[in-house]
């Protein structure tokens, strides 16, 4: 208790509490509940990176923000960016991290050649399936047992519960997910946890569609271990009740839940979730805090994080991992989406790597309860 008090006092005084009296690290505070992860770049695995020390101190799981996606990893047939991937897996292994693969199949950040035939038209079903299998086979050979979990498919459903029209579904139709999970199961070691990953899973139609799809996959003898809820949330929405309802729907479907990309938007924004094609121009109105977050908003953010982690703690039997999309506010994608060049504050560590009041609030959840 004393530690938390000192932390609070020091934070109120504007000091860097962790340097003076260390509070428990996030990963230790929640060790009995779930793993705590961060999305990283290869650069963050180097001691010179500003986020390096925090990454080692606070987190026990890593997700590659970009480097294993089809485009960044394999931009042209036969060209593989193995160096960054090797750096990532070696770091994970050296530090005993739960090392996530993100993502095998996503309609974004996948190069056009994947979907094309020799004449530039749509690849045939057989061609696409072959390329999908080669991708997983390659990743399995190099990083197989070093990968704890794979996001097998990312964002295949729309908020209304329909299957998204994408090059994958144009060529494979409703078989996209079964084929994807079949390939993963046949190519990857059985030790790997398989996830379906998406945003806006608090939309009832969307989570129900995911639950139905899991039933379909399982009826085909395919393994789905967990659902990744991206958790790109905002200060006011979704509500805690909506988050809980979504979690309970997944629990009832007998899958584990990983919160895979958590961040909390504090700036005004018209779109929810993470539809990366949504864009807006920079204005003074949509970038209101270029010089720092006002204390009242900082406090709202802390309370929001505390409420979310209180819910996570309550449902720790279903939740296996909570991963933040970034380590500090400086490396958040929300500085550039859906508006490029904003100053955003979605994480628990500020631009200087210092704990924000939200960190103390989150730690308070487990300090108070058994």
The CB density around residue 311, as the number of other CB atoms within 10 Å, is 16
- Give whole-number Cα distances, 180 to 103, 258, 265, in Å: 11, 19, 32
The site string for ligand GLA over 258-297 (x = CB under 6 A, - otherwise) reads ---x------------x-x---------------------
Tokens of 18: 């962790």
Within residues 112-151, the interface with ligand GLA by CB under 6 A covers none
Our CB check for ligand GLA shows the closer of 58 and 323 to be 323
Residues in contact with ligand GLA, shown as a per-residue x/- string from 58 to 77 under the rule CB under 6 A: --------------------
Smallest separation (angstroms) from ligand GLA to the CB of 97: 18
How many helices (H) and strands (E) would you count in the chain?
Answer: 13, 9
DSSP, collapsed to helix, strand or coil, labels residue 40 as: strand
How far apart are the C-alpha atoms of 222 and 212, rounded to whole Å?
Answer: 14
Residue from the set 61, 230, 272, 335 that interacts with ligand GLA by CB under 6 A? 230
Minimum distance of ligand GLA from residue 79's CB (angstroms): 21
Tokens found for residue 268: 């005004």
Q: Cβ 231 to ligand GLA, closest distance in Å? A: 10
Question: Tell me, what DSSP letter sits at residue 280?
Answer: B
Closest contact distance (angstroms) between CB of 261 and ligand GLA is: 5
Q: Which of 179, 187, 261, 320 is catalytic?
A: 261
User: According to the binding rule CB under 6 A, does residue 18 interact with ligand GLA?
Assistant: no
Rounded to the nearest whole angstrom, what is the least distance from the CB of residue 62 to ligand GLA in the complex? 13
- Active site (annotated) includes residue 320: no
Q: Is 186 a catalytic residue?
A: no
Rounded to the nearest whole angstrom, what is the least distance from the CB of residue 75 to ligand GLA in the complex? Answer: 16
Contacting ligand GLA within 188-207 (CB under 6 A) = 199
Could you tell me which of 358, 342, 172 has the C-alpha nearest to residue 269?
342
Site for ligand GLA (CB under 6 A): which residue of 10, 74, 110, 154?
154
**Helices marked H in the chain:** 2-12, 17-20, 26-29, 52-58, 70-73, 82-94, 125-143, 167-172, 176-187, 204-219, 240-252, 295-314, 357-368
- Residue 205 class from Cβ within 10 Å (0-12 exposed, 13-18 middle, 19+ buried)? middle
Residue nearer to ligand GLA on the CB measure, 40 or 274: 274
Question: Shortest approach of ligand GLA to residue 94 CB, angstroms?
Answer: 24
- The residue with tokens 């050979």 is 141
DSSP state of 321: E
* Two structure tokens written together for 352: 């200087």
Q: What is the chain's length?
A: 370
CB 83 within 8 A of CB 89: no
User: What whole-number distance in Å separates Cα of residue 159 and Cα of residue 273?
Assistant: 10
Binding to ligand GLA (CB under 6 A) within 312-341 occurs at 333
| Interacting residues with ligand GLA between 76 and 115 (CB under 6 A) | 102
Size of the site for ligand GLA (CB under 6 A): 8
Positions marked active-site: 155, 261
Interface with ligand GLA (CB under 6 A): 102, 154, 199, 230, 261, 274, 276, 333
């Amino acid at each position: 208790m004393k530690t938390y008090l000192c932390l609070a006092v020091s934070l109120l005084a504007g000091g860097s509490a962790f340097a003076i009296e260390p509070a428990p690290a996030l990963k230790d505070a929640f060790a009995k509940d779930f793993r705590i992860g961060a999305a990283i770049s290869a650069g963050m695995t180097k001691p010179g990176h500003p986020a390096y020390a925090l990454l080692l101190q606070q987190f026990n799981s890593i997700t590659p923000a970009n480097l294993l996606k089809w485009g960044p990893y394999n931009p042209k047939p036969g060209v593989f960016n193995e160096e960054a991937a090797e750096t990532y897996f070696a770091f994970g292994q050296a530090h005993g991290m739960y090392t996530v693969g993100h993502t095998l199949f996503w309609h974004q950040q996948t190069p056009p050649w994947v979907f094309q035939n020799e004449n530039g038209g749509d690849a045939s079903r057989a061609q696409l399936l072959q390329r999908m299998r080669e991708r997983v086979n390659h990743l399995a050979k190099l990083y197989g047992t070093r990968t704890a979990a794979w996001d097998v498919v990312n964002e295949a459903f729309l908020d209304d519960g329909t299957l998204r029209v994408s090059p994958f579904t144009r060529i494979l139709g409703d078989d996209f997910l079964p084929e994807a999970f079949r390939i993963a199961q046949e190519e990857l070691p059985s030790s790997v946890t398989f996830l379906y990953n998406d945003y806006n899973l608090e939309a009832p139609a969307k989570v129900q569609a995911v639950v139905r799809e899991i039933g379909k996959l399982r009826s085909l003898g395919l393994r789905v271990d967990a659902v990744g809820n991206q958790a790109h949330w905002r200060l006011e929405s979704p509500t805690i009740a909506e988050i809980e309802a979504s979690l309970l729907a997944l629990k009832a479907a007998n899958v584990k839940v990983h919160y895979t990309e958590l961040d909390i938007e504090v700036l005004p924004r018209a779109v929810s979730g993470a539809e990366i094609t949504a864009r807006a121009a920079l204005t003074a109105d949509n970038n209101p805090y270029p010089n720092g977050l006002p204390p009242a908003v900082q406090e709202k953010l802390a309370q929001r994080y505390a409420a979310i982690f209180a819910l996570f703690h309550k449902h720790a039997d279903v939740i296996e991992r909570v991963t933040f999309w970034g380590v500090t506010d400086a490396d958040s994608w929300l500085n550039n989406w859906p508006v490029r060049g904003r100053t955003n504050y979605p994480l628990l560590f500020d631009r200087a790597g210092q704990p924000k009041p939200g960190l103390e609030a989150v730690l308070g959840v487990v300090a108070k309860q058994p």
